[in-house]
């Protein structure tokens, strides 16, 4: 049987979406979601406008699964006004705050994923407090301060089902190339003894729960 892959249309929606994800990393997310949805829902921490959700959602859908996108949609520390990754289009002037939720919803509509993806507008730890089912995969791509990354790791690593995947975005082994919070939690996960290391794809780290 032929392997199920991303459609050209889905790849185009992802390419057009605002965000910070390499296409090879996206294709890996698709495969991981497709291959682990039988273990439980796929969870994404930090969705922004939905670029990675297109890949994860297509993978979940291919396996008859579900993706849950957790984000407060007020942007991380790097998206705020005056910061490096601020995008004025994602700023709600009336609210005087960032609001990426309308962009996520539009992306999910364009990608025909509204029946596959559940949108959970919340801070990561609050969402985790209510989360009781084993997750087939957790993808952490939230705030990049050490405090935010630690909260995401501590809240969500325990939710990964045995055999399931913990994926972490933005690993930079060389500190000159990027912030160290994501790779620090990746190393914490390895040191815990609960996870085995799978091959990385560019800056995407992938671990499997024992
Ligand atoms: Mg990222």
* 97-111: pLDDT as tens digits: 999 999 999 999 999
Domains in the chain with CATH codes:
13-209 (3.40.50.150)
Mean pLDDT of 174-195: 97
Is 144 annotated as catalytic?
A: yes
Mean pLDDT of 59-76: 96
Instruction: Output the six-digit token pair for 69.
Output: 């996108």
pLDDT digits (tens, 9 = 90+) for 80-94: 888 888 888 988 889
Task: Report CA(169)–ligand 1 centroid distance (Å).
Answer: 5
Task: Report CA(1)–ligand 1 centroid distance (Å).
Answer: 33
Least confident of 40-54, 75-89, 101-115: 75-89
Find the catalytic residue in 72, 73, 144, 169: 144
pLDDT digits (tens, 9 = 90+) for 144-170: 999 999 999 999 999 999 999 999 999
Least confident of 19-28, 41-50, 84-93, 148-157: 84-93
- The burial class, CB within 10 Å (0-12 / 13-18 / 19+), for 193 is exposed
Task: Report CA(21)–ligand 1 centroid distance (Å).
Answer: 6
> Coil, strand, or helix at residue 112?
coil
The whole-number pLDDT of residue 1 equals: 59
Q: What distance, in Å, lies between the first and last C-alpha atoms of the chain?
A: 29
Q: What are the residues whose beta carbons fall under 8 Å from the beta carbon of 27, sequence distance 6 or more?
A: 6, 55
Q: What are the residues whose beta carbons fall under 8 Å from the beta carbon of 54, sequence distance 6 or more?
A: 10, 13, 14, 17, 26, 107, 111, 113
Q: Tell me the average pLDDT of the chain.
A: 96
The whole-number pLDDT of residue 95 equals: 87
Task: Report CA(25)–ligand 1 centroid distance (Å).
Answer: 10
> Coil, strand, or helix at residue 163?
strand
CA nearest neighbour of 101 among 163, 50, 31: 50
């Amino acid at each position: 049987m032929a392997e199920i892959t991303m459609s050209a249309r889905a790849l185009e929606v992802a390419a057009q979406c605002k965000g910070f994800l390499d296409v090879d990393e996206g294709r890996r997310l698709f495969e991981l979601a497709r291959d682990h949805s039988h273990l439980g829902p796929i969870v994404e921490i930090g969705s922004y406008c939905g670029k990675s959700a297109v890949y994860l959602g297509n993978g979940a859908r291919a396996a008859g699964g579900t993706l849950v996108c957790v984000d407060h949609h007020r942007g991380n520390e790097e998206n705020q006004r005056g910061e490096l990754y601020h995008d004025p289009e994602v700023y709600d002037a009336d609210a005087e705050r960032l609001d990426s939720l309308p962009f996520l919803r539009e992306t999910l509509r364009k990608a025909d994923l509204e029946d596959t993806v559940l949108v959970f507008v919340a801070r990561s730890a609050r969402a985790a407090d209510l989360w009781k089912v084993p997750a087939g995969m957790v993808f952490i791509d939230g705030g990049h301060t050490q405090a935010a990354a630690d909260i995401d790791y501590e809240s969500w690593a325990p939710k990964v089902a045995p055999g399931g995947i913990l994926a972490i975005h933005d690993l930079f082994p060389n500190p000159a190339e990027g912030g160290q919070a994501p790779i620090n939690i990746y190393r914490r996960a390895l040191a815990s003894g609960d996870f085995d290391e799978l091959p990385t794809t560019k800056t995407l780290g992938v671990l499997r729960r024992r």
